[in-house]
Structure formats: C-alpha cells, structure tokens
C-alpha cells in the first residue's frame, strides 16, 4: 500500500482518533490507578502546610507522566508486523508525525490539566467533608503557573519524542542516558572554552562567607556580556531552538523507517 503524499488535516484527525480509540482501555486503567494514588497523597496534606498538593501532583503528572507517555507514543514501530502496518497506512509521514506530536505535546497537557482540575474538585470536596476545611483550589492559585509549566513541557517533550523514534526498547531510559552523556560532554567543552578563552576576564576567586563557598570576581565588561548577551542567547535558544531542531531530526528519523 502506498502512502498518500498530499497533506490532509482530515487524515491527521483520523490518525489521532485511531490512536485514542486503541489506547482507551490502557488509558482508563492507568487513569484509575493514578487517581487512587493521587487521592491518597491529596488526603495526607495539611491546611497548615506551606505547600499545596497541586505543587507536587500536577507537575508530576505533567512531566513524569508526559515523558513516559511520549516515550511510547510510537509503540507501533517497536515490533516488525505492527511497524510495517503503521508505516504503510494511507497517510504521509508528515501526517503520521504531526498526529503523534499533537497527541503527546498538545492534547496530553490539555487533557491532563482538565482531568486534574476535575480530580482536584472531587478530592477537595472529600477533604473538606473529612477535615472541615478546604485546600487551595487548583485553578484558583495555579492559572499563572500553568502558563509557565506547559510551554516548558512542550520544549522538553521534544527530547523524548526524538527518543521514541530513535530507540525501539527501553526508550525513556536510553533517552535519559543520552541526555546525561550529552550534558557531560557539553560541560567538558564549556570548561575548556572557559579556561582557555574567557579565563583572562576573571580576576580570581575569593571565599564568600554569606554562601560558605567560593566566589569568582568577574570584570564589569564580562558581567555586561553575560547578562546582556549570553543569558538572552540561552533563553532564545531554549524557547526557539531546541524543540524545532529536535522535531526536524525526529521527522527525518521517522522518514528513514519508511518502507
């Protein structure tokens, strides 16, 4: 069967519905297990505690759950018969790629946020009945934080999206290990660059009694350079560079698997 090379939003919608329908039973079982686990944690919180359960439970569900979910989003590719069937579906690689990304990067955080909001209402009602007082509502105190957490998730999710296509077994562990090795490599390269290129801009090290650590004395010109250029470059690279680059690599990785 030849794949259709023409772009179609309808086919993307079909692929999304297909994935959701095929995963409904597993998602329901996992959802009930998570509901019970989170409910017990929610009930253990105290009104007098500085933290709310939302500061622990929602990020855990969004990031940990999202990364695990993304790591198995291409589970059809992990076995040869299912992989052959999936790759020969009458849809282009871009449509298959787009449907998986939309599910894991957009629909997942939206569904999780709405589900957790519903869970918080139910759990808070039970908590109020048992304790005579309620905790801070999820949407009451978290609207601003959601605007920060979800974009961060979408960026970091692209790392695990690439890992889901690249690795066929133990995807999430191999992705974590790859990120760890890359981080060590970048630290070594940065150390060499700092030592041989930028060392002259630092006048020395001194003990800082306020932090019980060592403090680097940096020249004023280097401080301006770091604050006005380096930090901005890192920020723009994180928000505008990482996800597009990794998604582009992911697309070509998927295209390599075309039969």
Where do the structural domains in the chain lie, given as residue ranges? 9-170+246-256
Q: How confident is the model over 157-168, as pLDDT tens digits? A: 999 999 998 888
Q: Is the pLDDT of residue 70 over 60?
A: yes
Which residues, other chains included, contact 53 with Cβ-Cβ below 8 Å and sequence gap of 6+? 41, 42, 45, 123, 135
* Residue corresponding to tokens 């700092």: 194
Q: How confident is the model over 106-134, as pLDDT tens digits? A: 999 999 989 988 888 888 888 888 877 77
Q: How confident is the model over 34-62, as pLDDT tens digits? A: 888 888 888 887 665 556 778 888 888 99
Helices (H), the chain: 9-22, 24-44, 54-59, 65-71, 80-87, 93-101, 108-131, 138-166, 171-193, 220-225, 231-236, 243-256
The DSSP 8-state label assigned to residue 50 in this structure reads S
pTM across the whole model: 0.80
Which residues, other chains included, contact 73 with Cβ-Cβ below 8 Å and sequence gap of 6+? 100, 103, 104, 161, 164
Positive/negative CA dihedral, 152, 154, 155, 158:
positive
Which residues, other chains included, contact 174 with Cβ-Cβ below 8 Å and sequence gap of 6+? 163, 166, 167
Which residues, other chains included, contact 58 with Cβ-Cβ below 8 Å and sequence gap of 6+? 113, 116, 138, 142, 149
Q: How confident is the model over 223-256, as pLDDT tens digits? A: 655 666 667 777 888 888 899 999 999 999 888 8
Q: Which of 166, 160, 10 is nearest to 71 (CA)?
A: 160
What per-residue confidence (pLDDT) applies to 245? 93
Q: How many CB atoms lie within 10 A of CB 92?
A: 19
């Amino acid at each position: 069967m030849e794949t259709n090379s023409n772009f179609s939003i309808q086919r993307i919608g079909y692929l999304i519905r297909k994935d959701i329908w095929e995963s409904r039973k597993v998602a329901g079982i996992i959802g009930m297990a998570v509901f019970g686990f989170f409910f017990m944690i929610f009930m253990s919180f105290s009104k007098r505690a500085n933290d709310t359960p939302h500061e622990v439970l929602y990020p855990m569900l969004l990031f940990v759950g999202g990364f695990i979910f993304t790591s198995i989003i291409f589970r059809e590719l992990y076995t040869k018969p299912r992989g052959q069937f999936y790759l020969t579906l009458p849809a282009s690689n871009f449509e298959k790629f787009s449907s998986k990304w939309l599910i894991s990067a957009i629909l997942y955080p939206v569904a999780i946020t709405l589900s957790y909001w519903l869970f918080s209402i139910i759990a808070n009602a039970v908590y109020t009945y048992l304790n005579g007082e309620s905790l801070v509502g999820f949407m009451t105190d978290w609207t601003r934080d959601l605007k920060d957490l979800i974009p961060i998730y979408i960026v970091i999710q692209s790392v695990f999206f690439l890992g889901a296509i690249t690795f066929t077994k133990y995807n999430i562990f191999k992705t974590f290990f790859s990120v760890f090795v890359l981080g060590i490599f970048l630290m070594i390269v940065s150390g060499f660059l700092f030592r041989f290129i930028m060392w002259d801009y630092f006048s020395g090290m001194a003990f800082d009694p306020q932090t019980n650590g060592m403090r680097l004395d940096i020249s004023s010109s280097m401080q301006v350079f770091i604050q006005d250029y380096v930090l901005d470059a890192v920020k723009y690279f994180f928000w505008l560079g990482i996800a597009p680059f990794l998604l582009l690599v992911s697309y070509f990785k998927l295209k390599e698997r075309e039969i």
